[in-house]
Amino acid sequence: MKKLLLLVLTIVLSACATIANAGETKSELEQARDKWEAAGISHYQINVFVSCFCAFNDEMPLVVEVKDGEVLSLESATGKDLNPTNLQYYERYLTIDKLFSEIGNGFKSEGSNQGAADKVEVTYDETYGFPTTINIDFVEQAVDDELYITVSDFQKLP
């Protein structure tokens, strides 16, 4: 009798756990990342426009070729020479995988103990799931700390 009761209790608890998990939905970020990963694109080119109160705005947009998560080439779409010292400010936004990571960690300030940004708004590509626009407000009460990232002209490469 104890074995039967234990078996019934196990089945009931398992069913409850399954029902509870069935009600959970993936976040918009998780759904977009799943769509991107399912597409299996390892070689692509994008234009990345990083806009802020920054010294490198005249270099934007950037044309970035990525293969297997690594930047193969980087140039300004305007033909302007890139200042190598500016790379440190935008290199964390140059691949789709890096953008997903930044969104996932809430755009925490790099190299500081400061928490995630106060506000992050993202739109995703309907076909492949990659982020197309990201608006970040690091401190809502501060002025001139916003960062805007636009990904455009996506091309899947062979």
Domain boundaries, the chain: 27-156
What sign does the CA torsion over 85, 88, 89, 92 have? positive
Q: Using H for helix, E for strand and C for coil, what is the string for 49-84?
A: EEECCCCCHHHCCEEEEEECCEEEEEEECCCCCCCH
pLDDT grade for 132, boundaries at 50, 70 and 90: very high
pLDDT at residue 143 above 70?
Answer: yes
User: Angle 10-11-14 (CA atoms, 0-180°, nearest 5)?
Assistant: 85
CB 100 within 8 A of CB 122: no
Q: Give the model confidence (pLDDT) of 72-126 as tens digits.
A: 999 999 888 999 998 988 999 999 999 999 998 887 765 545 678 888 999 999 9
C-alpha distance across the termini of the chain, in Å: 65
Q: What is the pTM of this model?
A: 0.78
pLDDT recorded at residue 16: 43
pLDDT recorded at residue 109: 62
| Amino acid code (one letter) for 54 | C
Bridge partners, residue 74, by sequence: 64
83's tokens:
């200042």
What sign does the CA torsion over 39, 40, 45, 47 have? positive
| DSSP secondary structure letters along 15-43 | HHHHHHHHT----HHHHHHHHHHHHT--E
- Collapsing DSSP to helix, strand or coil, 6 comes out as helix
pLDDT at residue 8 above 60?
Answer: no
